Structure 1
Amino acid sequence: MIQRMIGLAAVAGLMTGCAAMQSTKMKQAVSANVTEKVDSKYTGPKRRVGVVDFDNKTAYGQNRLGGAAADILITELVKTGKFVVVERDKLNKLMDEQKLGMTGAIDSTTAAQMGKVLGLNAIVTGAISNFGVNTTGSDYLITQTKRQVAQATVDIRVVDAETGQVLYADSGKGEAKSGSGSFLGMGTKGGYNEGLEGEALRAAVSQLVENITSQINKKPWSCRVAEVEGPTVYIDAGSESGMENGQKLMVFKLGREIKSPTTGLVIGRTEEKLGELVLEEVMDSMSKGRMKGAARAPSSGDLARMAN
């Protein structure tokens, strides 16, 4: 009897020691489908871009995923050092005031309004067309395992803020995985890993940034005349866009829209060259200068491009 009690005590001590040495292993992997590269040489100052909240077409995550995808894209665009990205709340406020759609399709009229008011070169929008998380695992007496896989498909469109034309459209797919396991663990498997959502979206969005950059930079850089006071002309581009004192720009007055006779889509606008603007003072987000040899004075909303 005494020997039996000693044996039970030894087993209990062994189990207690094992439980105290409980270990858990975690691992996470991210992968993305590679998209076809579109090459375009970058020229000129930083482009001014707006990113609209993505439309979530899935039954997953409600409105959370659309905002998350837009935030990820904004971060990745800023990291390139080639863009000035307008804050989302400014875009949302403008769209709300103008009673424009908050997500989804951006038509030519909407793009032109946003481009003129906020001085945008391009607008990036899109949709999350597929998203899902698959969880598998096992829960045995001495071992527990869990594996989660999140998959996302993101569709993006780059829209010319002057004409409303779609410059580029593409899809990116991303996947994020996490796994955990425990030996002689006390309790059940861990809960849902929300970080997988962001990782899968980031994997899908990040691969598109290089092509977005190339497509936006195909078109010559431009900015807008913000204000005119006598001989002084203010533009909505400053040092953050790469402007410098003494820089020369050509100013144009935009006229009527030019539409394709086949599709009816706006393909451009008529332009009247007003003359050369020489910058005299450059600030963070704006600059001022004087016109040189102008036929007539420019006005707010006129277009300015780098002089050849």
Structure 2
Amino acid sequence: MRKLVVVATLALLSAASSLMAQDTAGQAAPAHKPRIAVMDFDYATVRTSTSALFGTDVDVGNGIARLLEENLVKDGRYTLIDRKMIDKVMAEQNFSNSDRADPMTAAKIGKLLSVDAILVGSITEFGNETKKTNIGGGMWKWGGNGGGGFGKSNTKAHVGITAKLVNIDTGEIIAVEDGSGASQRGGLSMGGNGNSWWHGGGGGNIDMGASDFQETIIGEATKAAVTDLSTKLDPDSGKIGVRTVVVEGIIAGISGSQIVLNIGTRAGIKVGDQFNVLRVTSEIKDPTTGQVIRRLTNTVGVIKATDVDEVSAVCTPVSGTDFKTGDRIKTVVQ
């Protein structure tokens, strides 16, 4: 009897372990993460206050976007496209910064980038709340860095941002999330200790991931707002349908084990994608027009992308041999 009890107990423990393993596996990141592009955030609403803060016009929308990209990559729910590609497409298509928060413009850019969705956003608050203590009572003031008068000012920084995930086929907004952050510390200036920390003069972008910025109270609030937003965006990855992209190209050259294709990231290729290599055995032509209506092929093997730029990809063999320049490649990549 005791033996039966032991066997039954072991069976229950085994079943429990199996269920726990299944549950852990269920929490794993999806095999195919949605591929998105993050546009620079629109900062028109806070442009006046940021210019006063930095002493010049600084593109805080670009800084927010870069910081958000870093967070989303670390969270592991999305695949992020390289920012240089976004800037290049924006320039080629003559899109202005004023278009950065427009869902329809974003959808057009998303199609050119071959992403599953595109994220647009805006900065709704970027400044400070100043509490000035005077004899006989207190006074709250929103805006600048405090200043003048009799008494002592204590500043806390606040940042608010909002983001939209956009379907690139329809321009439909898939999800909307807000992020907000406030500094845990206060000080006499947005720099925390009254010291000058911004030396950008002449405008441009700002590295919000830099330690000297994040050590300021406005940097502390910015980091908190972006963290809040990225945490809220993580579950939204499940709302994005991963697009099926059919990729076709030609082997442009071979050097040893390196096989170079005539297509790259513009066609939707990324490192790790695999391709069937096809060799044309015959072409069927329309007897009346002479146009090729069908190419018959044999599969030579499979290759895998190891290095990719905009217009080409370097691959190595996975299976098969005797690959030749001119062989066609075709696959379905996620």
- TM-score class, shorter-chain normalisation, is 0.5 to 0.7
- The alignment-based identity, stated in percent, is 25
Listed as ranges, the gaps of 5+ residues in structure 2 are 1-26, 52-57, 134-151, 198-212, 252-260, 277-298, 318-327
Superposed displacement of residue 128, structure 1 = 0.8
**What secondary structure is seen at the aligned counterpart in 2 of 1:221?**
coil
Q: Could you say if the C-alpha distance between residues 165 and 279 of structure 1 is closer, same or farther in structure 2, counting changes exceeding 3 Å? A: farther
Q: Could you say if the C-alpha distance between residues 135 and 219 of structure 1 is closer, same or farther in structure 2, counting changes exceeding 3 Å? A: closer
> What amino acid does structure 2 have at the position aligned with 1:281?
K
Report the Cα distance in structure 1 between the residues aligned to 2:59 and 2:331, rounded to whole angstroms.
37
What is the number of residues matched between the two proteins? 214
**Hey, what does 2:306 align to over in structure 1?**
283
**Hey, what does 1:273 align to over in structure 2?**
none
**What secondary structure is seen at the aligned counterpart in 1 of 2:185?**
strand
1:60 and 2:53 matched: no
Report the Cα distance in structure 2 between the residues aligned to 1:113 and 1:287, rounded to whole angstroms.
28
Aligned residue among 261, 268, 285 for 1:236: 268
| CA RMSD across the alignment | 4.1
Q: Could you say if the C-alpha distance between residues 283 and 225 of structure 1 is closer, same or farther in structure 2, counting changes exceeding 3 Å? A: farther
1:83 and 2:78 matched: yes
Report the Cα distance in structure 1 between the residues aligned to 2:305 and 2:100, rounded to whole angstroms.
36
1:191 and 2:178 matched: no
RCO greater where, 1 or 2, for CA within 8 Å and sep 6 or more?
A: 1
What's the TM-score, normalizing by structure 1? 0.55
Aligned residue among 150, 155, 163 for 1:156: 163
1:98 and 2:93 matched: yes
**What secondary structure is seen at the aligned counterpart in 2 of 1:129?**
strand
For the 8 Å contact 2:106–2:118, the answer to whether it is kept is yes
**What secondary structure is seen at the aligned counterpart in 2 of 1:283?**
strand
Superposed displacement of residue 179, structure 1 = 4.3
Superposed displacement of residue 73, structure 1 = 0.4
Question: Larger strand proportion, structure 1 or 2?
Answer: 1
Superposed displacement of residue 42, structure 1 = 5.0
> What amino acid does structure 1 have at the position aligned with 2:195?
G
1:129 and 2:124 matched: yes
Report the Cα distance in structure 2 between the residues aligned to 1:88 and 1:128, rounded to whole angstroms.
19
1:178 and 2:173 matched: no
Question: Larger helix proportion, structure 1 or 2?
Answer: 2
**Hey, what does 1:203 align to over in structure 2?**
224
**What secondary structure is seen at the aligned counterpart in 1 of 2:40?**
coil
Superposed displacement of residue 135, structure 1 = 4.8
Listed as ranges, the gaps of 5+ residues in structure 1 are 1-39, 139-144, 182-188, 247-276, 290-298
Superposed displacement of residue 121, structure 1 = 1.4
> What amino acid does structure 1 have at the position aligned with 2:159?
A
Superposed displacement of residue 206, structure 1 = 1.1
Report the Cα distance in structure 1 between the residues aligned to 2:314 and 2:76, rounded to whole angstroms.
20
**What secondary structure is seen at the aligned counterpart in 1 of 2:240?**
coil
Report the Cα distance in structure 1 between the residues aligned to 2:113 and 2:302, rounded to whole angstroms.
21
Report the Cα distance in structure 2 between the residues aligned to 1:125 and 1:117, rounded to whole angstroms.
16
